Amino acid sequence: MLRFIVRRLLITIPTILVVITLTWGLVRLAPGNFYSGEKKIPPAIEKNIREKYGLDKPWYQQYGRTMWAIIRHGDFGTSLKYQGQSVNAIIARSLPVSAIIGILAYLLALIVGVVVGSIAALKQNSRWDYASMALAMLGISIPNFVLGPILVLIFSLSLYWLPPSRWAGFPSRNVILPVLTLSGIYMAYIARLTRAGMLEVLRSDYIRTARSKGLTERDVVVRHALRGGLMPVVSYTGPALAFLLTGTVVVERLFALPGLGNYFIQAALNRDEPLIIGIVAFIAVTLLTMNLLVDIAYAYLDPRIRY
Amino acid sequence: MREVYLRQLIAGVILVALSILSTSCGASGKSEIFFGKVVPPSTNILRYVNGDEPESLDPPMSSGQPEARIFMALYEGLVEYHPKTLVPIPAIAERWLENNDSSEFVFHLRHNARWSNGEPITANDFVYSIRRGLSPELASRSASLAYYMKYAKAYNSGAVFVKDSTTNQFVLEKDVAEHPVQDTTQPLSERSLTPGEAEYKTSADESKMAEDSPFHQFMHSPARLTLPGSEKARAKEIAKNPKLQAAISGKDFLPVSAEDVGIEAVDDYTLRISLAQSAPFFLGLLAHQFFRVVPRKVIEQYGVHWTDPAHIVTSGAFRVKAWKPYSELVVERNPMYWDVANVGLDEIHFYQTSDNPTAMNLYKVGEADAVLNHTVPIAWLDVVKPKKDYMDGAEAAIVYVIMNVTRPPLNDLRVRKAFNMAVDKVTYSQARRITKPLSAFTPEGIFVGYPQPKSDGFDPEQARKLLGEAGFPVTPKAGGGYECKSFPIDQVEYIFNTQSSNKTMAEFLQAQWSQNLGITVPLRSMEFKTFLDVRSKLEYKGFALGLWGADYMDPFTFLSLFYTPTGDNGSGWWDQKYADLLDEANTNLDKRKRYELLARAEKYLLDAQPIIPIETTAVNWVKKPYVKGLYPNAGGLYPWKFVYIEREPSKWDYGIPSLTD
């Protein structure tokens, strides 16, 4: 197990470096610059800007300098668009916002999804099963850029119960609508995954064994069936949580949240190279870590898996 | 049985959804005179949705409109925009003098202007702020706004003077000019004045306040020659002009320094700005953020972090209270401000969101008191436009189509004219609902007294004739419509940046040209920065979308686009005669005569047709009726010190407040 973790961690480092290099290259290939705008800049001023930010140097020097700062100090530099703000500080500031919304949404999705999915599986082909799966289908089919405005229309613009957008810290009422919007699709997925996983497990031999041992139905479901039935949900959790943690562009824009996703999309549109690289690297690290955690969780949940 | 149940369920869900939607529509009822909740706040706080995240709180370092509005709260300049007309009004400069050909200005600063830390603001602070803005190391994007000032461009681009070390004489521009220069054609600021000759039309004691000085003499001397600072660029320029080569041989190059720029603190409260040309519009430019005063001590102490809330010192009616990036900037009344008694608001909360429906939602539920310009989506106009809190009015901005005149078939004037005449701009504006059709290159109804010329109107018959003369005959097609078989359709396209309103316009143009000329121009949409890149490098064939907003309230801010062949021109069209006409206009001090000359230049441009005018855009936004002193002016810029909250409903704005009284 330990050897497995160490090996995975060692692979992570070159992966991240490749990701950074690719991002660096792609930003350069995109037409336009961070300083290009509606009104054209005279050549003399363009020259001043390029000198100030070291863009007049040969590309390998620029690349070397960027990489060295990242490897040596973990420093992604300063945003080109937002004067004087370091990329690390921007990430540190916006991550909590994305993470709070993301984790709350996932927790909500997990609780509702697992409960609904389990009920559906245990009462297969009942009206509960059909009702919950129909709702889940609806949840999967409605994208969050539709769900969000509908929720805002109902709860803010018509009933005036909840604020329609903006971040007011945590906890606050402002959190409710983005969390609901974000969790919708995950809730639906988890319900379906749970149902499918549970159905498969409930028919398996070891459940029959557990039942024949004379365990109560409650013990069978909670101690044996659920553990195995949740495997698909666990493998889904890794990447899902990584994306939720690092911000979801649509929801953050819709609700004007100062999260990582908002910065990410804006950085790409602004050609803000250090910020793009910083956020991409951060997302890559998060994704790889989550996948590793999922693999470890597998071993705990399924006694048959050994690394 | 199962299926029946499922169907019932779906029907139920749809019913519930529909009933909720219908009640919500009812709640926003059409009988309400305002859009959404109207509850005046108990405090004097304005919550304003300001658009994109500010790039920086350092005035010369960001050029966007959201920042411009923030800077109007935090920093003051010599002059400020009038809240209704945007013409310059006194700010830190109490009054000013303009010399006889608008090439030099003297400002008398008020003695009670103070920084937010209580220290006095003097003429030296302005000298510092503008020199700093122009320094190549700062690399401000807006620096070219100050290029009208003497040696400003040379300093900003790192140019050098040429000096003879034996005689201590500088080589002058006229020494190497290809044609001899008449002294009298030079602006006053470059001429030495004979004693007794009055440069300013003013009373004797006023002119005494701006005494002569060695620097003033230096400004009033013939322009020195400046050459590029980099050896490579210099060698190229020298190679072009043999006279130049001879004049500079054996001489030294001396970098143009900040001290050479045409701005001088005559005394603590007198500031003199010398220009390299006549620029009657220069005063209007001075309200721009680039020219606003910034605190030297704080900048020198903290460098790029001087704008951190803990360090920042401001000169305007407000100071920074809190800054939550990507969320809000809170500014509060600056107790040190010279006119603090007349500042109506205690705080302004600038909210950041660039999503229009999000901004409108905040407004509707009463969490924002006003929103920025262009926030009401077209689809919402039916509901919002009839309300008494909807603001609209003409905007100092235009939409047009640029043509790449360097490539056939659009290098033929007749073809360009045909494409212009084949577009019905009136119908387009009617469809857009709030804009005005445009037939010139300056916006309609913005510059009072400007005799705006008109280009050719909608005339498809004439358009087909012109195309025929150019060798592309248009023939009626069987079953209606036209066709133009010989037109090289693969040589043209229309490019625009991806945005729904741009797409609507593109499709309209395509339909018009196809209907009236039988030519279906392919459309290509691009990501914004890619589009700008392609357009400025003339890498497109045919047509490109053009948008332009005024930098200052003068027709020249539009006409100057074609003053040079590069920059924002985008068409490849350039004509010396056009540039000469503009120069002639700008040296003319009589406003009416100047406007006539500018209009002649504009007519000349329209006749050459490198562009197809489409529309004058309109401002469209909403503000709660209790927000007073905020006007739908043509630039979307608001001097916040005049804004206040009115709690007495009888004094509210019911409708658009007048811009003229």
Q: Which residues of A touch B1 (CB under 8 A)?
A: none
pLDDT, tens digit, 9 for 90 and up, residues B166-215: 888 899 888 887 776 666 667 777 777 665 566 776 655 555 556 788 89
Nearest chain B CA: its distance from A32 CA (Å): 5
Average of per-residue pLDDT across B222-228: 91
Residue A194, pLDDT score: 92
Whether chain A has a CB inside 8 Å of the CB on B358: the answer is: yes
Residues 66-105 (A) with a CB less than 8 A from some CB of B: 81-85, 90, 93-94
pLDDT in tens, A68-117: 998 888 889 999 989 889 999 999 999 999 999 999 999 999 999 999 99
pLDDT of B458 higher than 80: yes
Size of interface A-B (CB pairs under 8 A): 163
Per-residue model confidence (pLDDT) at position B4: 46
Residues B311-324, mean pLDDT to the nearest whole number: 95
Q: Say yes or no: A169 contacts chain B, CB-CB below 8 A.
A: no
Q: What is the pLDDT of residue B562?
A: 93
Report pLDDT for B441.
95
pLDDT at B26 over 70: no
B67 touches chain A (CB under 8 A): no
Q: Is B198 on the interface with A (CB under 8 A)?
A: no
Coil, strand or helix: which one is B212? Answer: coil
> Inter-chain contact A254–B24, Cβ cutoff 8 Å?
no
Q: Determine the pLDDT at residue A301.
A: 74
Residues of chain A in contact with residue B527, where contact means CB-CB under 8 angstroms, are 269
Mean predicted lDDT score pLDDT of chain B? 89
In this predicted structure, what is the pLDDT of residue B185? 65
**DSSP secondary structure letter of residue B118:** S
- The answer to whether B352 faces chain A, any CB pair under 8 Å, is yes
Q: What is the mean pLDDT of residues B385-411?
A: 93
Q: Mark yes or no for CB contact B307/A84 under 8 Å.
A: yes
> What is the pTM (predicted TM-score) of this model?
0.88
On whether any CB of chain B is under 8 Å from the CB of A106, the answer is no
Choose among B2, B13, B141: nearest Cβ to A45.
Answer: B141
Partner-chain contact A49 B533, CB within 8 Å: no
Partner residue opposite A83 with nearest CB, options B27, B61, B533: B61
Q: Do B9 and A83 touch (CB under 8 A)?
A: no
Q: How far is B367 from chain A (nearest CA, A)?
A: 8
B66-77 per-position pLDDT tens digit: 999 999 999 999
Instruction: Rank B33-47, B475-489, B561-575 by mean pLDDT and report only the highest.
Output: B33-47
Predicted confidence (pLDDT) per residue in B346-375, tens digit: 999 999 988 889 999 999 999 999 999 988
Q: Report pLDDT for B206.
A: 57
Q: For A188-205, what is each residue's pLDDT tens digit?
A: 999 999 999 999 888 888
pLDDT at B3: 47
User: What pLDDT, on a 0 to 100 scale, did the predictor assign at position B27?
Assistant: 45
pLDDT surpassing 70 at residue B594:
yes
Chain-chain contact of A93 with B53 (C-beta, under 8 angstroms):
no
Predicted local distance difference test score (pLDDT) of residue B121: 97
- Hey, are the CB atoms on A45 and B139 less than 8 Å from each other? yes
Q: Is B530 near chain A, with CB under 8 Å?
A: yes
Residue B17 has pLDDT above 80, yes or no: no
3-state DSSP of chain A: CHHHHHHHHHHHHHHHHHHHHHHHHHHHHCCCCCCCCCCCCCHHHHHHHHHHCCCCCCHHHHHHHHHHHHHHHCCCCECCCCCCCEHHHHHHHHHHHHHHHHHHHHHHHHHHHHHHHHHHHHCCCCHHHHHHHHHHHHHHHCCHHHHHHHHHHHHHHHCCCCCCCCCCCCCCHHHHHHHHHHHHHHHHHHHHHHHHHHHHHHCCHHHHHHHHCCCCHHHHHHHHHHHHHCHHHHHHHHHHHHHHHCCCHHHHHHCCCCCHHHHHHHHHHHCCHHHHHHHHHHHHHHHHHHHHHHHHHHHHHCCCCCC
pLDDT < 70 stretches in chain A:
247, 306-307
What is the reported pLDDT for B29?
Answer: 45
Question: How does pLDDT run across B121-144, given as a tens digit for each residue?
Answer: 999 999 999 999 999 999 999 999
